[in-house]
């Protein structure tokens, strides 16, 4: 997970994804450990899908240039 977070930071994930969508940056244990007892796992799935969508949109932007 450390490698993934490092690669996201290289893509300016904090500014281009988190700030524009109002999310906090993920920790290296975000998807592995439940942070709160009453935490909804669907929120993490939604966050994962959003990150994947954002990453795919980056690849499409580059292919049209």
Domain edges within the chain: 2-63
CA pair distance 52, 38, nearest whole angstrom: 25
Q: Which two tokens stand for residue 53?
A: 């969508």
> What pLDDT, on the 0 to 100 scale, is given for residue 64?
60
Minimal CA–CA distance to 27: which of 62, 2, 49, 46? 2
> What pLDDT, on the 0 to 100 scale, is given for residue 37?
80
pLDDT tens figures, 4-32: 999 999 999 999 999 999 999 998 888 88
**Nearest 5 degrees, angle CA 60-CA 17-CA 58?**
10
Q: Identify the three-state secondary structure at position 41.
A: helix
pLDDT tier at 63, thresholds 50, 70, 90: low
pLDDT tier at 65, thresholds 50, 70, 90: low
> What pLDDT, on the 0 to 100 scale, is given for residue 32?
85
Minimal CA–CA distance to 13: which of 58, 59, 43? 58
């Amino acid at each position: 997970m450390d490698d993934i977070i490092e690669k996201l930071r290289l893509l300016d994930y904090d500014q281009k994804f988190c700030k524009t969508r109002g999310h906090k940056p993920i920790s290296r244990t975000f998807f592995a450990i439940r942070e709160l007892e009453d935490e909804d796992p669907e929120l993490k799935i939604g966050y994962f899908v959003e990150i994947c969508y954002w990453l795919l949109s980056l690849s499409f932007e580059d292919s049209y240039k």
